[in-house]
Amino acid sequence: MAQVVFSTWGGNRVDNRNVTGEPQAVSYRLPVAFDGQRPLRAFMGWDGIIMFDRDVDVPAMTAEYMKRVQTLYCCGRCTPGKKGTKVLMDLFQNVLSGHATEADLDTVGDLAELLKNCKCTLCQSATVPVFDAVTNYREEFVARLHERRAIKPVPDSYIHKITAPCMDKCPSHIDIPKYIEEIKNYQYSEALATIRENMPMPAVCGRVCPHPCETACRRKNVDDAINIMVLKRTASDYEWQHNIIPPTQTKPKKDKTVAIVGAGPAGVACAYYLALEGYQCTIYEALPEGFGGGMIAVGIPAYRMPRHILQRDIDIVQALGVNIIYNCRVGKDISLPELKQKYNAVFLAPGAHRSKPMGVEGEDKGYKGFLTGGIDFLREAYMGRSTGMGKKVCVVGGGNTAIDCVRVALREGAEESILLYRRSRKEMPADVWEVDGADEEGVRFEFQVLPTKIVVDANEQVIGVECVRMAMGEPDASGRRRPEPVPGSEFIVECDTVIPAIGQDPDLSFIPSDMGIDITKWNTVVTKYLSLKDADGKDLKDGMGNMLSRSLITDCDGVFAGGDAEIGPLTVVACIGNAHRAALVIQRWLEEGKAYLSEQDIFDDLLTYLGVYDKSEKVPWLDSSDRANQKEVHGRERAAKGNYREVELGFSDSAAQIEADRCLRCYRMAMVTL
């Protein structure tokens, strides 16, 4: 059953129904068992059908697929979709009841062609697997018409999932086409309600999200991706500018309590969704009051994320009854065992506030001008404290934190701000627009250089960094070419301050070793996962090598982990998506005494692994339309000392409406047969 019996996925026909030798291989991998137990017998979706079990009732599966498309998701806003899906649904229901004819089956192709004129892609794409089923399993449909196929006493079971390429790529799985359409109709409150179903910090993610959703936007196959992130900001800006309080209503208060370690995006998101369900949540935050948001508050500059707007998102969460205790470090002011004893569940989301060492000569000597790390530098700057920075600053690293450091250094009064990175500009992990922003503000870049030694004077004051030039060698395990030192190319970059910003780790020292909570070699908390294996017995993993379908519960009953502490230092949206799942699992734990993933959780992971976006797809469109970009303050004066005013200014309402109108509303429905 693990072997693919038949497939039309991606337009590639693989037929192993009558093969006696080596079966044809497929390019995709799916789990043998949907939830680790129930066999995955068939998959039906926007790009075809995949059959693993010869005994699947294909006519019944096809009829159920079209019934769910028509009754649950067809919006009815265009005649082809409204009428065409109804005709197809009725046709297949008549097949099952024996009231159709073979001539009716011949009309499926014509109906599929008709539905290509639909307003959006849900109904269009739904005809693909239906047509493939009728074409390649016609004898089964005909047998059903003439009652020559025995109907099983126990019918197959089905699970479906609505998705879109952008929704799938979003770590929080926000219903992006829906909120974009609401923005197009100037329904900002409705758009925010849609966003908050999966993302409780829309103002934050409307500004600092790296918008992976846009990499999977089908509009990109026509001209350019929709500006999804800034459209989210448009709705949130309207709300705070008009002083609108979002209408949120929690369920009746429950007697179960939850402690959350850290008021960063993961901790706040987990508290938000649990509070909506009526659970009493208390967040313990080491930072002082006014710095809710954790790494967002002290790790993202105010010119990117204004503090008053961040605080408003925090206030909305607290209005649900969430209590945040500031200036309270777990492990020092209160212990983790105490939290576990006091609360019914504990969620660990401390963030990644500890900088990684560079590994260069002299960094551990305590030299004046060598700062402990980029995260520490940013935190001290945002809290109004002395950073210890001089006038000529060198930052080492190539990620967003490094870029934030060189840009903040200018705003803190540096006369020269220099970035040292061991690879090329093209290979920097930092977002391109952030690098461009640093360039515009006058940051000096030194690419393909590796610091090897901190240079100091007789008073142990930093006066420079000794570096070696790097040349690109063979690709490493990630596929990137490995930089290698060029012998004899040593040189010194003069500076009075060095800030390492090559990465960060969570500080998990507050977790006692005797609690049974394991820590990985990457300094993240180990959580249980659902083992999903392919036909070769290999575990399915995500693009970063992590196991799919993690339940976020540790080996210590009642203690869960999420955000940077569980997935490693990633993005705000990834932490929030991770924490939303944790909230759902914690709720099941509190109500049922079991921590498990729902069928929809598993389906989300399955689709993300399979992939919903096809960059090679030919997308028909009448005309090209330029992408709208938000207004921005330009010129080096924006990085003047003390100037933390916002650089990016968002959309006007009219620009947002025009940009939202470019959305192709690319919904798809997938269904598995178990």
Report whether 601 contacts 657 (CB < 8 A). no
Placement of tokens 């947002």 in the chain: 656
Q: Is 149's pLDDT higher than 70?
A: no
pLDDT recorded at residue 542? 64
Q: How many CB atoms lie within 10 A of CB 3?
A: 13
CA–CA distance, 46 with 585 (Å, rounded to integer): 30
What is the token pair recorded at 393?
Answer: 């600053």
Task: Provide the pLDDT for residue 161.
Answer: 96
Helix/strand/coil for 670: strand
| pLDDT per residue as tens digits for the range 2-27 | 588 999 999 899 988 887 767 777 88
What sign results for the dihedral spanned by CA atoms 317, 318, 322, 326?
positive
| Residue 364 reports pLDDT greater than 80 | yes
Is 171-247+613-660 a domain of CATH 1.10.1740? no
Handedness of CA 373, 378, 379, 381 (dihedral sign): positive
What is the CB-side half-sphere exposure of residue 542 using CA atoms within 13 A?
A: 15
Do the two domains 171-247+613-660 and 257-353+507-596 of this chain adopt the same fold?
A: no
Give the residue from 31, 106, 62, 29 showing the smallest Cα distance to 671. 62
Cβ 650 vs Cβ 230: under 8 Å: yes
Q: Is 274 left (phi over 0), alpha (psi -120 to 50) or beta?
A: alpha
Tens digits of residue pLDDT in 270-320: 999 999 999 999 999 999 988 888 888 888 899 999 999 999 999 999 999
Q: Is 606 helix (H, G, I), strand (E, B) or coil?
A: helix
Classified by CATH at the fold level, domain 6-165 comes out as de novo design (two linked rop proteins) (1.20.1440)
What is the CATH architecture assignment of 257-353+507-596? Answer: 3-Layer(bba) Sandwich (3.50)
Domain residue ranges in the chain: 6-165, 171-247+613-660, 257-353+507-596, 355-504
Instruction: Tell me which residue of 665, 668, 662 sits closest to 612, measured CA to CA.
Output: 668
Burial class (CB in 10 A: 0-12, 13-18, 19+), 377: buried
Task: List, in order, residues 6 or more apart from 627 with CB less than 8 Å away.
Answer: 223, 224, 225, 226, 227, 659, 662
Each residue of 320-359: pLDDT tens digit? 999 999 999 999 999 999 999 999 999 999 987 888 888 8
Quote the Cα angle for 150-156-162, to 5°: 140
pLDDT score at 1: 43
Q: Which amino acid is at 397?
A: G
pLDDT tens digit sequence for 656-670: 999 999 999 999 999
Integer distance in angstroms from the first to the last C-alpha of the chain?
Answer: 12
d(CA 671, CA 511): 42
Residue 205 near residue 229, CB atoms below 8 Å:
yes
- Taking the CB of residue 500, how many other CB atoms lie within 10 A of it? 28
Categorize the per-residue pLDDT at 154 as very low, low, confident or very high, splitting at 50, 70 and 90.
low
Identify the residue whose tokens are 């100091």.
Answer: 456
CB 389 within 8 A of CB 380: no
pLDDT over 60 (residue 132): yes
- C-alpha 390/C-alpha 413 separation (Å) is 8
Provide, rounded to the nearest whole percent, the portion of the chain with pLDDT above 70: 97
Say which amino acid occupies 362: G
Residue pLDDT, tens place only, 402-459: 999 999 999 999 999 999 999 889 889 888 889 999 999 999 999 999 999 999 999 9
Closest CA to 154 of 233, 248, 55: 55
Please, are residues 315 and 307 in contact by the beta-carbon 8 Å criterion?
no
Which pair of tokens denotes residue 55?
């005994």
The 158-163 sheet, strands edge to edge: 14-15, 6-7, 48-51, 42-45, 668-673, 158-163
In angstroms, the CA 58 to CA 216 distance is: 31
Neighbour count for residue 333 (Cβ, 10 Å): 12
Instruction: Say how far apart CA 100 and CA 578 lie, in whole Å.
Output: 48
Closest CA to 383 of 294, 291, 305, 296: 291
- Comparing C-alpha atoms, which of 367, 364, 373, 356 is closest to residue 464? 367
What is the distance between the alpha carbons of residues 553 and 582, in angstroms, rounded to a whole number? 8
Please, which pLDDT band fits residue 202 given cuts at 50, 70 and 90? very high
CA distance 654 to 224: 19
User: Which DSSP helix (H) or strand (E) runs through 144?
Assistant: helix 138-145
| pLDDT mean across residues, the chain | 89
The CA distance from 603 to 600, in Å, is: 5
So what's the architecture of 355-504 in CATH? 3-Layer(bba) Sandwich (3.50)
Residue type, 47: D
